[in-house]
Amino acid sequence: MYKINNPDWPVIVIGGGLAGLTSALALAQQGIQVLLLEKKSYPFHRVCGEYVSNEVLPYLQHLGTDISQLQPARINRFILSSPSGQTLEADLDLGGFGISRYTLDNYLYQLAQANGVTFKLNTTVQDVTFENGSFILQTGNGEKLQAEIVLGAYGKRTNLDRQLNRRFFAQRSPYIGVKYHIKYNQAKNVIALHNFKNGYAGISAVENDTYCFCYLTTRQNLKQHGTIPAMEQAILYRNPHLRQIFEEAAFVYAHPEVINEISFATKTCIENHMLMCGDAAGMITPLCGNGMAMAIHAGKLAAEQVALYFKNGRNRQHLESNYNHAWKKQFSSRLQLGRTVQHLFGHPVLSEIAVKTLKQVPAAVQLLMRQTHGKPF
C-alpha cells in the first residue's frame, strides 16, 4: 500500500460529487490512501438533471457497483419542445437511466467508505498552496492538511476558484439553475427538454415513481419578476408543456434547490498542479444532458493517471501532461459543441427555428446526440 503517515496523505480529493467519489473509490481499490473532503453530509440534494448516459455502466460495474439495486428509471426516448410548444421526438440510441443525486451519491459514498476511502464531511477548503512538491490545504475549521496529489472535484463554482485566480471566476455568469422533485404522469422512458424565453427545462423519471424537473434560466428573468414562482408563471408557463407540468404535478418538497452563477466558460483541467475533475474542469450545457456521465468519466481518467504516477516513479510533469492530454481528447470538443448549442436554445426565435429544422432532419438529431455523448467505457 502506498502510504504517507498522517496527517499527510498520498491523495486528497476536494469535493464528493460523482467525479470525486468515483476517483477516490478507484484509487482506494488500488491500495492508495485517499482522503475526501466534502462540505455537506450525505445524503443531500444537488441541482442536477439526474439523467445518466448508459456509457458509464461498464465502468460503474468495474468499480463494483450494482446500479440496478437503486431501481433507476430506464430512459430511451427524447422529446424536445420550442417555447411555443411544437415538439420533435427521437430515440436515444445508447439510452440512459434516471437516478437522483440524493440516492446515487450516497450509494457511492457508502461504497467508497467500504473500500477504505477516508471522509471528512462538513468540511470546506479555504486555501490550497503548492510548495516543495506537496500541497497544503487550509480547511474552514482551521485544520491544515498535507497531500502529495490533490484532485479538485468540487463542482461548478466555489470560493476556492477565487483563491486560485481562475479566469472564469472573474466573469459574472448570467445563469441560475432550479430543481424540483415531482410526482407527474409522464412515460418513465422519456426525457423531455422544453424551451422557454432565455432558458430550458428538463424532466425525466428517477427512482421511487418520482421525476426530476430542473431548469436553467437567467438572473435577469428572476430579477425582472422578483420571485421564482412569479418568474415561472410569467415566463415558463408560456410553453404549454411546462404550464401543464406546473398545473398538474405534485411537488415533493416545498422549495426548490437553487444554484447561482452557473458558468459554461472554458476552464482548465490543471490548476496550480491540481487535477480538476467534473464541473470544476468544465461544464457541458444541461441541454446536452451528459454532465453526470462526463463527471464519472473524468474521475476515471484522473484515477488512472494518479495510479500511474505512483507506480512509475512519481513524475509530476508526466502526470499533469498525460492527464491534460487525456481530458482534452475526451471532453474538449463535446464542451465546445455544447457551448455552441447553448446559443440556439432559450432564444425565442432561434429555438423555434432549431426545433422546426431538426424535426425535418432526424439524422441531424442523432448526430448531435452522438457528438455530445461518449462511447461506453
For residue 133, what is the DSSP state?
T
**What local confidence, expressed as pLDDT, does residue 344 receive?**
67
Residues 338, 287: Cα–Cα separation, whole Å: 8
C-alpha distance from residue 296 to each of 53, 63, 81, 352 (Å): 11, 11, 29, 33
With vertex at residue 136, the alpha carbon angle to CA 133 and CA 140, rounded to the nearest 5 degrees, is 165
Which candidate, 45, 285, 288, 269, places its Cα nearest to that of 166? 269
pLDDT mean over 219-225: 93
SS (HEC) of 261-320: EECCCCCCCEECCEEECHHHCCCCCHHHCCHHHHHHHHHHHHHHHHHHHHHCCCCHHHHH
Number of CB atoms found within 10 A of residue 320's CB: 17
**Residue 117 and residue 119: Cα distance in Å, rounded?**
6
The enclosing H or E element of 89 equals strand 87-98
Question: What is each CA distance from 255 to 106, 229, 252, 258, in whole angstroms?
Answer: 22, 10, 9, 9
Q: What value does the mean pLDDT of the chain take? A: 91
Give the model confidence (pLDDT) of 121-130 as tens digits: 999 999 999 9
Going from the N-terminus, what domains does the chain have, and what CATH number goes with each? 8-372 (3.50.50.60)
List, for residues 332-350, the tens digit of each pLDDT value.
887 777 777 766 666 777 7
pTM: 0.92
Give CA–CA dist 89/173, Å, rounded.
31
Q: Residues 32-48: pLDDT tens digits? A: 999 999 999 999 999 99
CA distance 34 to 26: 10
Question: How confident is residue 361, by pLDDT bands cut at 50, 70 and 90?
Answer: confident
